[in-house]
Amino acid sequence: MIEAHVLTTRGKPLERRSLPEPALTDADVLVEVEACGLCHTDLAFATGEVAPRHALPLVLGHEIVGRVVRSGRRHEALLGRRVLVPAVLPCEDCELCRAGRGNACTRQKMPGNDIDGGFATHVAVPGGPLVPLDDVPAGVDVRDLSVVADAVSTAYQAIVRAGLARGDVAFVVGAGGVGGYVIQTARALGARVIAMDVSRARLDMVVAHGAERVIEVEGRAPRDVRKEAHRIASDWGVGSLHFRIFECSGTPPGQTLAYTLLAPAATMVQVGYCAATVEVRLSNLMAFDATIHGTWGCPPAAYPEVLRLIYTGAVVLAPFVEHAPMSRVNEVLDDMAHHRLGRRVVFDPREGVDARPSGAKLSSET
Residue 327 lies in a domain: yes
Domain match, 118 and 189 both: no
* H/E stretch holding 215: strand 213-216
Domain match, 258 and 323 both: no
Domain match, 142 and 156 both: no
**Per-residue confidence (pLDDT) for residue 352, from 0 to 100:** 54
Domain match, 277 and 170 both: yes
- Which residues make beta-bridge pairs with 268? 245, 292
Total structural domains in the chain? 2
pLDDT tens sequence across 89-141: 999 999 999 998 999 999 999 999 999 999 999 999 999 999 999 999 998 99
Domain match, 159 and 193 both: yes
CATH number of the domain bearing residue 122: 3.90.180.10
Domain match, 156 and 141 both: no
pLDDT tier at 355, thresholds 50, 70, 90: very low
Give the residue among 251, 248, 246 at the shortest CA–CA distance from 277.
251
**Per-residue confidence (pLDDT) for residue 365, from 0 to 100:** 40
**Per-residue confidence (pLDDT) for residue 342, from 0 to 100:** 86
Give the type of residue at 44: A
Domain match, 49 and 106 both: yes
Predicted TM-score (pTM) of this structure: 0.93
**Residue 157: partners with Cβ closer than 8 Å, 6 or more residues away:** 103, 295, 297, 298, 299, 302
Contact yes or no for 83/132 (Cβ under 8 A): yes
CATH number of the domain bearing residue 166: 3.40.50.720
Residue 132 burial (C-beta neighbours within 10 Å; 0-12, 13-18, 19+): middle
Average of per-residue pLDDT values in the chain: 94
Q: Which of 294, 322, 340 is the last residue of a domain?
A: 294
Per the structure, the complete domain to which residue 66 belongs is given by 2-149+299-348
Domain match, 236 and 329 both: no
Q: What are phi and psi of 26, to 5 degrees?
A: -60, -25
**Per-residue confidence (pLDDT) for residue 274, from 0 to 100:** 87
Domain match, 243 and 176 both: yes
Quick check: 358 pLDDT over 60? no
Q: Which of 271, 294, 317 is the last residue of a domain?
A: 294
pLDDT tier at 364, thresholds 50, 70, 90: very low
The arithmetic mean of pLDDT across residues 48-65, rounded, is: 97
pLDDT tier at 309, thresholds 50, 70, 90: very high
Domain match, 8 and 130 both: yes
pLDDT tens sequence across 149-171: 999 999 999 999 999 999 999 99
Cis ω before 57 (30° cut-off from 0): yes
